[in-house]
Amino acid sequence: MIYVVGIGPGSKEMMTLEAIKAMEDADVIVGYKTYINLITEFIQDKEVVQNGMRQEIDRCKQAVEIAKTGKKVAVISSGDAGIYGMAGLILELTTKEEQEVSVKVIPGVTTSIGAAAILGAPIMHDFCHISLSDLLTPWEVIEKRLKLAADADFVICLYNPRSKGRSEHLARAFEIMGEFKGGNTPVGIVKDVGREKEEKFVCTFDTMDFERVDMTTMVVIGNKSTFIHDDLMITPRGYTV
């Protein structure tokens, strides 16, 4: 049995009851070491399999092998396991090899939702998620999505917005979106949602400071109706108030 568990952005408060129960029920916890550090209270007396970035395939293969021995395994992802998390990889592995391993995906609060709650209500209307990481997606596909999403006036949430190896992606993304997003469009930035060092900034498209952003940051770009009030970012649903 494999539970693929979304643990939410970081704090226990943002975990679902089901996620907590799955981790308590598991014999083995498998995860990226940074995320294991967020759930230390759930790993007492359990076997833990952890490794580093870009070792997702190894990690998931190990989880499947352990589950085949009859143990209950919880594979953890931050946020929701089904959004840029481990649910896909686990299911790709088990379906490809016709493995007789039960898989249960346990949903969690993804980082855009956690960030939105801190910013106010920026994703109240139609929105999209775009990851700026081109490790697994051709950059042309990402550029096309940025352009069409901006043209469609979606609120846009950027995952993996900026790493040391890809420090220019975010500026390029803003350049592309700038064809349709006005300079006054509100932009919300939340670092380390639900974790100790959580920080929040609200600015506009024109005053965006790319240096504030790293890989643990969520960037939310408003639509044509989004407004800023004090430090809140609000996208109206369309009610006349």
**Looking only at residues 124 through 143 of this chain, which bind a second copy when binding is defined by CB under 8 A?**
124-131, 135-137, 141
Do 202 and 186 touch, CB atoms closer than 8 A? yes
Closest CA to 54 of 83, 11, 89: 89
15 binds a second copy (CB under 8 A): yes
Single residue of 28, 29, 38, 149 touching a second copy by CB under 8 A: 149
- Residue 64 beta carbon to a second copy: minimum distance, rounded to whole angstroms: 11
21 binds a second copy (CB under 8 A): yes
Beta carbons within 10 angstroms of residue 175's beta carbon: 11
Burial zone of 169 (CB within 10 Å; 0-12 exposed, 13-18 middle, 19+ buried): buried
Site size toward a second copy, by CB under 8 A: 72
Single residue of 17, 41, 44, 211 touching a second copy by CB under 8 A: 17
Binding mask 49-88 for a second copy (x = CB under 8 A): -------xx----------------------xxxxxx-xx
Site for a second copy in 91-130 (CB under 8 A): 91-93, 95-96, 105-110, 113-114, 116-118, 120-130
